[in-house]
Chains A and B, each alone.
Chain A
């Protein structure tokens, strides 16, 4: 059984650009969540997908968008990058979900994004 993987590990972009981050869920997991973790802070919930549908969203603007694919891998897209978007982006998968049900999340290693 493979764990959660994320790509790339590091990324440097300039302000105004767009970025796509990828996450491969743990085998058998149909729920994925994305988090932004700024330096010295706890993870901030961006959104969660369950069976390809958005299942919850944190306080992030619409330029943060996501996709979950039939194989349950997922992407986080961020448009019009701002300097404050520099952070570690974590994804976490869990074995089941749906509204109001939260199973154990398994985190990936993260993608560190730097916006210049």
Chain B
């Protein structure tokens, strides 16, 4: 069963517009959730993790256990946010990544 679902393969928004990348997970235990980002010609890197409760590059993500979601949000998209975003779940001994959402911010 797919553990992490990212329903949008492609997402385009205009610069300055709000952006939300959706992530839903399936796990009965206590999840540990992450967002990873891959900019063009760069390595996959951690953007944020839910236990840190940080805002990184203006992005935030809130874990909603009732809806089993961990959506990534930014109020005002910037061109440099254009990248591939992966939601990931860690279950204590395994990692599960979603299929990714390619975000394009239109100038």
Which A residues form the contact surface with B (CB < 8 A)? 33, 35, 40-45, 48, 55-58, 90, 92, 99-100, 102, 104-109
Contacts and interface: CB of A to CB of B under 8 A. Distances in A.
Contacts of B6: 42
Nearest to B99: A42
A56 B93 contact: yes
B46 A104 contact: yes
Contact of A102 (B43, B90, B96, B99): B90
Interface residues of B, number: 20
A41 B101 CA distance: 10
6 contacts: A35-B95, A45-B94, A48-B95, A100-B92, A107-B45, A109-B43
A82 B45 CA distance: 29
A57 B92 CA distance: 11
B46 A108 contact: no
A43 B93 contact: no
What's the dominant secondary structure at chain B's contact region? strand
B46 to A, nearest CB: 5
Contact of A45 (B44, B46, B95, B98): B95
Interface of B: 4, 6, 32, 43-46, 49, 86, 88, 90, 92-100
A58 B100 CA distance: 19
Contact of A90 (B44, B46, B100): B44
A41 B94 contact: no
B97 A42 contact: yes
B97 A45 contact: yes
Given A100-B92, A104-B46, A107-B44, A43 B32 contact: no
